[in-house]
Structure 1
Amino acid sequence: MIASRQKMLAIVCGGGPAPGINSVISSVTIEARKNGWEVLGIYDGFAHLCKGIKNVVPLTIDMVSRIHYDGGSMLRMSRANPTKAEESLRKAVETLLDLGVTHLVTIGGDDTAYSAFKISEYATQQLGMSLQVVHVPKTIDNDLPLPEGVPTFGFETARALGAQLVSNLMEDARTTGRWYFAIAMGRTAGHLALGIGKSASATLTIIPEAFGTGQIRLQNLVDLLTASIIKRLALKRDYGVAVVAEGIVEKIAPEDLKNLEAHCFDEHGHIRYAELNFPELLKQAVMKNLCDLGVKMTIVGKEIGYELRCAPPNAYDIEYTRNLGYAAFDFLRNGGSDALITIQNNRITPISFAEILDMQTKKTKVRMVNIHSIQYQIAKEYMVFLEKDDLDDSMKLKALAAVTKLSEGDLVKRFAAVAL
C-alpha cells in the first residue's frame, strides 16, 4: 500500500499590505499544525518563486501564536506577477511543487486572486499535478467582488485610522483657514475614500463611481473642487477638506495625463499613484483656477494610504481575519480548491474563481461603490457641492459671485456644468 503524501501548506502574501495579514497567517498555521500538516511561509510574495528561488521559512505555532496583534506581514510581500510571462508562471508552480507543497493559501487583492487561479490551473493542466488553492481576500480598497456589505479584511482598520487623520486635518483647516485635498488609496473604486470621508465628516468626498462609466476631463474635477471652495467662502467658511479617491485618475482622459512616464506603472499595468504625485497636480490646477477667479486660498495636498496599510488591526479585523484563516484551512482540509473564501451570514462561503473572473478581460472583477445605496445617498447629503439651486436662487448666486471677480451671469456659465 502506497503511503499518502504528507500535506504541505504554503502561505503567500501578494500586493500591498493591509491590517490583519499576520492574523490570517497565524490562524492558518495554527489550524494546519493542529491537524498534522507542515506549513511553509513564502517570503516576498511571488518574487522569488517566479525566479525558481526557494526563500521560505517553516512556520510553527510558537512562531505565530501572538502575531495577530501586529501590523504588516511577517512574510513581507511584493507585487511580483507570476502571470506576466509563462516562464515565470512555470517556475512559480514548479518551485512550489518541488518544495512538496500540496496546498496553497494566498492572501491578497484582485491581482493575487488571479495569480492564485492561474497557478492552480497551470499545475493541473500543464503539469498534471494537484495543487489545491484558496484565496483570502485582503485589501484596504474593499474592492474585491464580495457581496455588498461584506468587507475585505483590513478595510475597517484603514477606515478608522484614515477618519482620525482626516478629522485632524479638518480641525487644522478650520484653525488656519485653509483647504486640504486628501487623496485616499483605492486603485479603482472609492470605498476607502467614501468610508473615511463619511466617518470624518469631510467637506466633500469625490469617488470615481459618481461620474458614471465614461471618462472625465481633469478640468471637470478641478472645477468641481473650485466650486465647492467658492460655495464655502460664500457661506463664510474659509476652510475645508476634500477627500478624493485616487482611483479617479483612471477615469481622467488619457490626453490630460499624457506626460506620465513609464515608471508610473507597476507590473500589473496599474498607475503608481505615488510616482504621479496626484495631490500636487490637483492642488496646482485648483490654485490656478482660483487665482484666475480672483480668489485667494491656501491648499495643501496630502496622500492618505501608506499610513494605514501596516497599522495594527483593530478588534474587528483581528476577529475577522482569525475567522477567515480558519475558514481557509477548513475549506482545504475538506478537499476544496480554486475559490476565494468568505464568511456570509455566519457561514463559511467559498466563491469559486470562475465566479469572480471577468470573462472578457480574464481579470478579477472589481466591486465598485453602489452610488444608489442608502449609504452613499446619506453620505452625499452632508457634502458641500455646488448645486443647481445655488445658481437658480438670486440671493445665493449673488453671494457666490461676490467671492469671485465674475459677474453672476459669467459665474453661471463657468460652473453650471458641475452643479449637481
Structure 2
Amino acid sequence: MRLAVLTGGGDVPGLNPCIRSIAMSAYQRGWDVIGLMRGWEGVLEVDPSDPWSLENAAMVLDKDRVRGIDRQGGTILHSSRCDPRTTSEGDQTQKVLDTLDALKVDALITMGGDGTLRFSAHLASLGRNVISIPKTMDNDVFGTDYCIGFSTAITRSVEAINSLRTTAASHERIAVIELFGRRSGETALLSGFLSQADRTVIAEVPADIDVLLPLLLKDKQDNPESYALCIVSEGAKLSGTAGFEDEINKSNTNREGLNIGTQLAREIEARSPEKTIVQELAYLMRAGEPDAMDRMVGFAFGALAVQLIEEGRSSNMVCLTDGNYGVVPIDTLLQDTKGVNVSGLYDANQYRANLLQVEGMPMFLY
C-alpha cells in the first residue's frame, strides 16, 4: 500500500501531529507514505511525464522525517488555496488524477477546510480512495463538531485579548479586536466569552451601531480602569452597510474597502468622544505549536484515517460528534453550512455569548 498525504488551505496547529500519526500508523502496517507538497497547487505543478518533477513533488514520510514534528506548528508539507476545478486553465481534475497515477498512489488522505475537502469529495466521486480530515481554526466544516486547529486558535486569541487589556487601560480606550472568521463567528464567540470581553460581534448577526455603541460606552464608564473590549469576527458587518460577501473571499491584500474592525472603530470615534485601539490578530491566531487538544485530535484523526483505509472504508471524512470520534460520508460537508447557533448561544441584543443553559451541552458548545 502506498499512501499520499496532502494539506490544503490555511495552516493550523495540529497538522503536523496528524501527519506524524498517519506516517507512524502506516509504518506499523508496512506501508509507504509520501507527502504531496503545497496542496493541490503543488500537485498541479507536477509534470507526470518528467521523473525529476515527480521526484520533487513529494516528501517521503518515514520514521526519521516525522520524528518530533508533532511539536511544530504549521505543516511540513506546506499548503496552498486551490481548487483544481476552477483554475485559469479550466478544470484540471484529470491532471490531478494523472499525477496520482504517476506517483503510484493507492489511497489519498487530505487535510483541509471547506475548499480542500470539497475537491477531495469530487475525487472520491470519481472512484479514488480518499479519506478527508477536517481542519480549520473557524471550526466551520459541516459534518463534524470539531476541526483540527480550533482549540489552539481560541487559546492564542484569549491570551492576546487579555494582554491587550493593559494597553487599553493605560490609554483609557475602547479596543476593537478583530479575529479570523469569514462565515462563522464561533471563534470570536468563544474567545470573547473565555476572555470575558465586554461585547462580541459575530459573522452571523449584523451589528447595529446605535445599539452597540451605547453598550460599549457604558462598559467603559463602569470599568474602574476606564476601558472596554469589543471582539469582532472578520466576516461581521454593520447594519445598513454594503455587503462584503464577495470581498471576504479574497486575501486581505486584494480586498477593497476597510476591514470590519476599522469600520467599527471609525464609527465609535465619529459618534462619541472616545478613542479606540484596533488590533487584527489574524495569522497570530494560528501561529506556533499546537495545544494539548489539537495534538490529541491530530493524533487520533490520523490514526483513524489509516484504520479506515486498512478496512477498505474510503470515501469518508473522520469527525468528532458529541465528543466521540467517528466517520461520515466524504460528501457530507456539501450538504449544509456550519455556524453559530445564534438562538441557543448568542444574545444578539447584548452582543454577548448566552450560555445560561449548560447541562447537556458538549464541551466546545457546538
User: Would you say same fold, with TM above 0.5?
Assistant: yes
Letter matched to residue 251 of structure 2: R
| 1:283 aligned residue | 265
Q: Any residues of structure 2 matched to 1:387-398 within 5 Å, and which?
A: none
Letter matched to residue 190 of structure 1: G
Q: State the TM-score, normalized to the length of structure 2.
A: 0.84
Say which structure is richer in helix: 1
Of residues 35, 43, 54 in structure 2, which corresponds to 1:49? 43
Letter matched to residue 367 of structure 1: K
The root-mean-square deviation of aligned C-alpha atoms, in Å, is 2.7
| 1:169 aligned residue | 164
| 2:65 aligned residue | 63
| 2:234 aligned residue | 246
Distance in 2, matches of 1:75 and 1:232, equals 46
- Partner of 1:16, secondary structure, is coil
How far off is 1:48 after superposition?
Answer: 2.2
Map Cα deviations across residues 242-282 of structure 1 (whole Å, 9 max, x no partner): 10011214x87784659x8xxx56xxxx2334654513333
- Sort the Cα spacing of 1:297 and 1:376 in 2 relative to 1 into closer, same or farther, 3 A: same
- Sort the Cα spacing of 1:346 and 1:229 in 2 relative to 1 into closer, same or farther, 3 A: closer
Map Cα deviations across residues 335-389 of structure 1 (whole Å, 9 max, x no partner): 011121024467542110233213xxxxxx321111233x5469969679xxxxx
| 1:74 aligned residue | 76
| 2:123 aligned residue | 119
Q: Does 1:271 align with 2:250?
A: yes
Q: Does 1:320 align with 2:317?
A: no
| 2:218 aligned residue | 231
| 1:28 aligned residue | 22
Distance in 1, matches of 2:142 and 2:281, equals 24
- Sort the Cα spacing of 1:380 and 1:349 in 2 relative to 1 into closer, same or farther, 3 A: farther
- Sort the Cα spacing of 1:95 and 1:39 in 2 relative to 1 into closer, same or farther, 3 A: same
Distance in 2, matches of 1:58 and 1:379, equals 54
- Sort the Cα spacing of 1:229 and 1:347 in 2 relative to 1 into closer, same or farther, 3 A: closer
Letter matched to residue 39 of structure 1: V
Distance in 2, matches of 1:274 and 1:240, equals 29
Query: Which residues of structure 2 form unaligned runs of 5+?
Result: 48-53, 355-366
Q: Any residues of structure 2 matched to 1:70-149 within 5 Å, and which?
A: 70-85=72-87, 87-122=91-126, 124=127, 131-147=128-144
Q: Does 1:297 align with 2:268?
A: no
Indicate if the aligned counterparts of 1:138 and 1:154 stay in contact, CA closer than 8 A.
yes
- Partner of 1:342, secondary structure, is strand
Of residues 329, 335, 343 in structure 1, which corresponds to 2:312? 335
Q: Does 1:38 align with 2:56?
A: no
Query: Which residues of structure 1 form unaligned runs of 5+?
Result: 1-6, 125-130, 359-364, 385-420
How far off is 1:51 after superposition?
Answer: 3.6
Rg: which structure is higher? 1
Indicate if the aligned counterparts of 2:73 and 2:290 stay in contact, CA closer than 8 A.
yes
How far off is 1:233 after superposition?
Answer: 4.8
Indicate if the aligned counterparts of 2:346 and 2:352 stay in contact, CA closer than 8 A.
no
Indicate if the aligned counterparts of 2:176 and 2:232 stay in contact, CA closer than 8 A.
yes
Distance in 1, matches of 2:349 and 2:313, equals 40
Letter matched to residue 232 of structure 1: D
How far off is 1:308 after superposition?
Answer: 1.8
- Sort the Cα spacing of 1:344 and 1:229 in 2 relative to 1 into closer, same or farther, 3 A: closer
Q: State the TM-score, normalized to the length of structure 1.
A: 0.74
